[in-house]
Structure 1
Amino acid sequence: MKYVNAKAILPDALLKELQDYIQGGYIYVPASPRQRKRWGELSGYRIELHRRNCKILQEYSNGFTIEDLANKYCLSVYTIRKIIYQK
């Protein structure tokens, strides 16, 4: 997270109001719930995992064994089972 000087982004009236509460300290301003991203959405990893899981399901339906898939994708047998039986 990058720190930003409040003087550079806030109107003078708001800055003076904040100074009544805190001076020279740090304030964390959380994002509003509608702007929050779910895990992996910002980096694109969520989509990457979804594609991988779809490939695993397809290969399983084409005859690959759970053990073969675990070796191919470097995942545990337990994880492959969770992917296959999630739906």
Structure 2
Amino acid sequence: MSYVKAENILPFELIEQIQSYIDGASIYIPKKEENKSPWGTKTTTRLELEQRNIAIYKRYLQGKNYKILAVEFYLSEKSIQRIVLEQRRKYGNKSE
């Protein structure tokens, strides 16, 4: 998020009107809903997490238990359980 000077983009009358509500402070104007990007689309984080979750599920299907997976992936056992359940719902109980 970058800051933009109001004088450079807004009409003087609008600035005066905004100043009647909030004078000399910074405000955040959110994007319109239609201009918002879904989470994880600007970076590779979403893909990396999906790949990690698939790897966790594959290791679980190979016989590793929640405790071992939690240590391997630096997550809580509860997080591993949640990931396994999500992957099971998504892909079924296949051991490919």
TM-score (norm 2): 0.66
Q: CA deviation at 1:19?
A: 2.5
Query: Using CA pairs below 8 Å that are at least 6 residues apart, which structure has the higher relative contact order?
Result: 2
Aligned-partner Cα distance in 2 for 1:16–1:43: 38
**Matched residues, percent identical?**
35
Q: Does 2:46 align with 1:50?
A: no
Structure 1 unaligned regions, length at least 5: none
Q: Which has the higher helix share?
A: 2
Aligned-partner Cα distance in 2 for 1:46–1:27: 30
Q: CA deviation at 1:43?
A: 4.0
Q: Which residue of structure 2 lines up, in the alignment, with residue 84 of structure 1?
A: 84
Q: CA deviation at 1:45?
A: 2.2
Q: CA deviation at 1:52?
A: 0.7
AA of the residue aligned to 1:36: K
Q: 1:21 is paired with a residue of what secondary structure?
A: helix
AA of the residue aligned to 2:29: V
Equivalent position to 1:18, from 14, 22, 35: 14
Q: Which residue of structure 1 lines up, in the alignment, with residue 60 of structure 2?
A: 60
Q: 1:83 is paired with a residue of what secondary structure?
A: helix
* Aligned-residue RMSD, C-alpha: 2.2
Q: CA deviation at 1:60?
A: 1.1
Q: CA deviation at 1:27?
A: 3.6
Equivalent pairs, count: 83
TM-score (norm 1): 0.72
